[in-house]
Chain A
Amino acid sequence: MTTTPPTAAPPTGRAELLGFKNVEMTFPDGTVALQGVDLSVKRGEFVTVVGPSGCGKSTLLRIASGLESASTGSVHLATDRIGYVFQDATLLPWRTTRRNVELLAELHGESKARCAQSAQEAIDLVGLSGFEDHLPRQLSGGMKMRASLARSLTLDPEVFLFDEPFGALDEITRERLNDELIRLFDEKQFAALFITHSVSEAVYLSTRVIVMSGRPGTLVGEYDVPFDMPRDPEIRFTREFAELVGEISHALREAH
């Protein structure tokens, strides 16, 4: 695998920020997790991958972030500002919300004042103001995810990777966080690669939905989502929305 170092690409326009070329992933035990994956995510694109559980969706993100290397093929990353939101909030239980959100800037050696400032901005952005001094155990599941999101936002990421971040939340909280995420995306225009197994969440959030088959994971279908950004929550109840969800769900079932 080759990770192209960040190049001085022009910050505007629809530049490819993340690209997979013929990526294949075989684990040491012989399991083929991914096969022939070609995927490109441009600035201002929100790409969601849906697929059955265990199909290698998460592996895709782990390869993109460099946590794992692909067996063959190449990954191209045009930036080093990468946000990664895990399935769990992964907040350090001994740190308050503020100190948790400060963590990444702190690890990058930023000054105390800068850490505090970027953390406060991110906390305000995700609507956690007033909970700065709470410990993770005092936060609800949704608030923990907000804190986790805020932590990634302090890096001002150009590529944002989401590994089923809202999977463990109840539906109302999930929908609210979807709206917040869309607002952030619309404002910051990063390139997002989002993993979920909820088709309606995928359609609601994305500009493009990709269907992945299981074992080995291959990309079997691609759907452009025609709705305007930022999304009107009411589109969830339109016929077009339901039809697209239906179509993708069918494709997903065939791929399974």
Chain B
Amino acid sequence: MAITTGTAPKPSRKRTAAKSALLGWGPPLTVAAVLVAVAYVGNAMLGKRAFLLPAPHDVIAKLWDPTSAPDIWLAMWRTTVVSLTGLTLAITIGVLWAIAMHQTRWMERALFPYAVMLQAIPILAITPLIGFWFGYDFTARVVVCVIIALFPMVSNTLFGLQSVDRGMRELFQLQGAPRSTVLSKLEMPAALPAIFAGMRISAGLSVVGAIVGEFFFQRGTPGIGSLINKYSARLLSEELFASVLVASLLGVVIFLIFGWIGKRAVGKWYDFG
């Protein structure tokens, strides 16, 4: 018997599953542990100025502490609403913008520079303007959010639409398919992986946009950005860190949700990272 591929693989497969879980979660958890340790060490070493780097358990405690927790969680909800509203608008506008640019060469020439410009705008420089135009409330926050989250949607959708294989285009051309059919049956489905990849990037950016917006537009229910502004002004470092933590968590959760949606939508035929 030269070939013996009997029952050996089974336990080893189990081991590799455990191993891959370890490889997947091990490194980031190690980094987290190191960061927490650094925070404790720093906190201990700073002595009187320990408020600059509060102890992690004190930060976490603020998320339950009845004096700060209701504010933080309400603000988190507000920020979620702003970023999801902004993200929805960014996705809609971005996809339509890209489709418009994809129609003719001159449309692309005419519109692409402005997409780039939008991304290059120093958002802080135009926040006063946005305030003038849209008030200092919800709308203005959403506008900041859209401006920050829009570009990846435009560029990714355009890239996706243009990535269609030439042979497939000709297949449709040979049947005399009109442009609208080529768009709906060929280009849009082909662009979906790129669109979902764009959504994932924009999702993270929409949280950034919402927080920047709240930081400047303080009218109405405070969001995390508003709280960060308030806490930093009052040197409430534990609450400040707790707010930052919650904001990051929101960004990660939205990123993961959109990654999951992308995988559900196109994972069957496309290896969606």
Contacts and interface: CB of A to CB of B under 8 A. Distances in A.
Whether A associates with B in a native complex is yes
Given A135-B268, A135-B269, A137-B269, A92 B174 contact: no
A237 interface: no
A84 interface: yes
A87 B168 CA distance: 11
Interface in B231-273: 266, 268-270
B167 interface: yes
A82 B170 CA distance: 14
Contacts of B185: 103, 106-107
A82 B175 CA distance: 9
A157 to B, nearest CB: 11
B151 to A, nearest CB: 26
Given A93-B270, A94-B269, A135-B269, A88 B167 contact: yes
Contacts of A93: 269-270
A66 interface: yes
Contacts of B175: 104, 107-108
B173 interface: yes
A84 to B, nearest CB: 6
Contact of A90 (B171, B176, B192, B266): B171
B181 interface: yes
Contact of B170 (A67, A92, A106, A135): A67
B266 A82 contact: no
A86 interface: yes
Interface residues of A, number: 20
Nearest to A163: B167
A65 interface: yes
Contact of B189 (A94, A107, A136): A94
Contacts of B270: 93-94
Given A90-B165, A90-B167, A137-B269, A84 B174 contact: yes
Given A67-B173, A93-B269, A93-B270, A107 B181 contact: yes
Contacts of B190: 92, 94
B168 A94 contact: no
A86 B171 contact: yes
B52 interface: no
Given A93-B269, A135-B269, A82 B174 contact: yes
Chain A interface main SS type: loop
Nearest to B182: A107
A94 B266 contact: yes
Given A107-B181, A137-B269, A86 B170 contact: yes
Interface in A65-111: 65-67, 82, 84, 86-88, 90, 92-94, 103-104, 106-108
Q: How large is the interface on B (under 10, 10 to 19, 20 to 34, 35 or more residues)?
A: 20 to 34
Contacts of A86: 167, 170-171
Given A67-B173, A107-B181, A92 B167 contact: no
B271 to A, nearest CB: 9
Interface in B137-196: 165, 167-168, 170-177, 181, 185-186, 189-190, 192
Interface string A23-39: 00000000000000000
A87 B181 CA distance: 24
Interface in A98-128: 103-104, 106-108
A247 to B, nearest CB: 34
B168 A90 contact: yes
B184 to A, nearest CB: 11
Contacts of B171: 84, 86, 90, 103
A14 to B, nearest CB: 26
Contacts of B172: 107
A244 B154 CA distance: 58
A11 B189 CA distance: 40
A92 B173 contact: no
A51 to B, nearest CB: 21
Interface of A: 65-67, 82, 84, 86-88, 90, 92-94, 103-104, 106-108, 135-137
Ordered nearest first, which 9 A-B pairs have the shortest CB separation? A90-B167, A107-B175, A93-B269, A94-B269, A86-B167, A94-B189, A107-B177, A90-B168, A135-B269
Given A84-B174, A137-B269, 18 more contacts: A66-B174, A82-B174, A86-B170, A86-B171, A90-B168, A90-B171, A92-B186, A92-B189, A94-B189, A94-B190, A94-B268, A103-B185, A106-B185, A107-B176, A107-B177, A108-B175, A135-B269, A136-B269
17 contacts: A66-B174, A67-B174, A82-B174, A84-B174, A87-B167, A92-B189, A93-B270, A94-B190, A94-B266, A94-B270, A104-B175, A107-B176, A107-B177, A108-B175, A135-B268, A135-B269, A136-B269
